[in-house]
Every structure is written in structure tokens, then in C-alpha cells.
Amino acid sequence: MAVTRLNHAVLYVRSAERTAAFFVDHLDFEVASTIDLGGRAGIFLRAGGSANDHDLALFSMGDQLADSAAGRATVGLYHLAWEVPTLADLATYYASLSAAGALAGWSDHGVSKSLYAKDPDGLEFELMWAVPQELLTEADALVSVAPLDLDAEIARFGADTPGRITA
């Protein structure tokens, strides 16, 4: 028995509508379904190209709630990471998230290339491209976190080289 992948994530947010619009506008998610929870919204999103019923569920909790203190004052989830097919996709998301003021950082992990961003409630997520196994070098395996030079990585691997996405 083995876990093979993350099927979906569930987030409590101030406004499911606002957060859903962010993921639709900037990350190419689509609304799969919605529910009314007694005046509070539940919105189920599917990532583009996904065969899942939903990849992300959002539940409205109200604007009166405080920011998450996870990692600062409480335990909790740091971030979710979504894998993208190519470095060209990562570059497209870099531009979109930068324009939205949501980009929080970027890192070269050797075996993967990552962008970090925050949703409208400040919850962090990662978009990453995994270097195909056959293109990894010994040096790639040694890097834990370094600044990402996306243009240099595109020159090295090619913008449209498929990453190591597994089913």
C-alpha cells in the first residue's frame, strides 16, 4: 500500500468567492461546483487538465476572522505545492502572479524550480516544475535552496521540456 499523490486540498478562507476568483484568474483553475452552507459559500475548483472531481475546495468563514498564525504562533500547514508541466508554464505564472502582487518568492531546489505566492487571505502556495530524472546532475541533488534564475533554467532545460509529473 502506498500514497501516490495528493487528490485535493480544502481551505477555510474569508470569502470563497474572492479566493476562487483569484485561482481562476491567475492559476487557470475552473469552478467545478458550488454549494450553499446556510449563507456561506463552498466552492470546488478543478485545476486545468485535471481529471479530479475537484483539486481545491474553498469554504467561506467570514471577513471577521484573523489571519492564520501557522508557523508564527501556532502549528499548521505552511503551503501546498502544485506541479506545472513546463518551465514556460512557470514563467507564465510568474508574470501573472507578479502583476497581481501575489508573488512572494522563488527558489531553485536543484531537483525542482519553484515560485511562492499568497492568495487573497495571505495563505501561501507553491508552483513548481520538477526536473526530469534523466536531466538531473549530481550538483542538482546537492542544492537545497538557492535563488531561482528562471531565464537561465529555461536556457538550460528548454521552455517546453516536460517536467517529471507523475500520474
The per-residue pLDDT for range 48-63, each reduced to its tens digit, is: 889 999 999 999 999 9
Mean pLDDT to the nearest integer, 108-122: 96
> For residues 126 and 27, is the Cβ–Cβ distance under 8 A?
no
Question: Does residue 166 carry a pLDDT above 60?
Answer: no
Domains and CATH numbers, the chain: 1-62 (3.10.180.10), 78-167 (3.10.180)
DSSP single-letter state for residue 15: -
pLDDT of residue 39: 85
The arithmetic mean of pLDDT across residues 138-150, rounded, is 88
CA distance 48 to 22: 14
- SS3 state of residue 117: strand
| HEC assignment per residue over 8-44 | CEEEEECCHHHHHHHHHHHHCEEEEEEEECCCCEEEE
Q: Are strands 146-147 and 103-108 parallel, antiparallel or unpaired?
A: antiparallel
66 confidence band (pLDDT: 50, 70, 90): very high
Query: Residue 60: its pLDDT value, please?
Result: 95
In the predicted model, what is the mean pLDDT of residues 121-145?
A: 91
Q: Are strands 9-13 and 41-47 parallel, antiparallel or unpaired?
A: unpaired
Looking at residues 61-78, what average pLDDT do you find? Answer: 91
